[in-house]
A and B are shown apart, each in its own frame.
Chain A
Amino acid sequence: MQPLNRLQIAWRAAQDIEDGMLVNLGIGIPVHVADYLRPEADVFIQSENGVIGAGPLAPPDRIDTDLVDAGSRRITLRPGGSIVDSAWSFAMIRGGHIDVTILGAFQVAANGDLANWDMRLPDKGPLVGGAMDLAACARAVWVVMEHTTRQGEPRLLEACTLPLTAVRCVRRVYTDLAVIDIVPAGMVVRELVDGMSPADLEARTGAPLAFAPDCRELTAPPIAMG
C-alpha cells in the first residue's frame, strides 16, 4: 500500500479542474494544485488579495515584492490577469463567482462541515483569513488533506470537534488514501489507493463510508517531495 504524498494529492485534485474555471487555492497543499493543471485547461487562479490570474512563482531575477499572492509568495501574473482591491476580491468570492476553492482542512464532517481555521493551540492566536468566505460562498469546495493526523486520528468525522469554518460546504475530499464525495446521505468513496481494503479505510475514518459501485484505484504519477 502506497499512500499519495502531499504533492500527489495536489496532482490528483488538479485533474478535476475543468476548462476555463476560476479557482481559488488555499495555503499549504492546495497552492501546489496550480503546478499540475493540464496545460489545455485554461484556468484563472484567484488569490484573496485581489490577484486574478496568479501565475507560477517568480524566477529570482523577476521577483517583484508588490506582486504577491495571499500567502505572501512572490508570483507572476498570467496573460489576461488583473488585480482588484479587497472589497472587489471578496465581492467575487462572496458573490459566488469562484467556480471551485481548494482548501486544506483539519477536519471534515459527514454533512460537509469544515474545520480549517483554528486548532486551538495554546498561546497561538486565531487566523481565519479568507477561509470562511471561501468555504461558505465558492460554488464548489474541495478539500485536500492527509487522511489522518500525525497521531493517526481520523480527520473525516461524524461531526467536527474543532471550530467550524462553514457548515455543509465541502463537496469533495482528496486525501493520501482516497477520493471521497460528500452527498446528502454522507461520504461516498470514489477512489481508493491500491492495496487498501474498504475495511482498512473505514478503520482510519471517523464517519460511515459508502463505496461507489464504480470505485476506482486512486493513482498518481511519481512526484518527489521538494
Chain B
Amino acid sequence: MTRRERALQTARRGGLVTVIALVGLAVVYVRAIAFTPIERTQGPAQKIFYVHAPIAWATMLAFAVTGLLSLLYLTMRDRKFDLMAAASAEVGTALGIAMLTTGPLWAKPIWGTFWTWDARLTSTLFTFLLFVGYLVLRGALSDFEVRARFSAVLGVMALVLVPFIHVTVYWFRTLHPDPVVMKPEGPSLPAVMLTTLLTSLIVCTVLYIGLVMQRYALAVLEDVREEEEAGDGIS
C-alpha cells in the first residue's frame, strides 16, 4: 500500500467517523431542544451551553494535541507528527470559530453583555489567537523541514503558555467583583441535563477525531504530490 493509498484510506475512515459524529450532533440538537427541560432562571438560552461547552472542549483538545505532537516531533523528528500537529491545529481553529461565536451568544442573555472577560472565555480567545499565529507561521514557510521544526517550537511554547494565560486571566478576573448576578454553571446540573451535556461532549470529541483524520490524510496527499512534482530522488 503506497503512502497515497494509505492516506486515502485514512481519509475514508475519517469521513465515516465525521458522518457518525454529525448524526450524533443532530441527535444532541433534538435531545437538547425537545427533550431537555428549560432552565427556570436562565431560559432557553441556557441550552446554548450544551453546544458551546463541548465545542470549546474539542477546540482546546485540538490545541493540546497539537502541542503534544509538536513535542513528539522535536524529539522523534518523524514528519508524521508534524503533519498531524498541523491537522489538529487547523481543526481546532475551525471549531474555535464556532466556540467564539456561540460563547458571546450565550453570555449576552445570561450575563448581560456579549463579552464578559470571564476567565474561561478570555483564555480560550487568547489560545485561539495563539494557534491562528501557528497557522500563519506555517503558511509563511515554504521549506517543509523548516516549517515542521519552527511550528513544533511554537507548538511546544503554546502548550506551556495556555495554563499561564488561564491563571493570569483568572486572577485578573476574580479580583474585580463580578458585575453579573448569575454564575454560568449555576446549580449542579440535574441528571437529564447532564446526560445531554455528556452526549454532546462525546459527539464533539468524535467529530474532532473524524475531522483530524481527514485533515491529516489531506496533508499527506499534498506532501506526496509535492514530492512527485519535485522530480527524481537519489539512487
B is bound to A: no
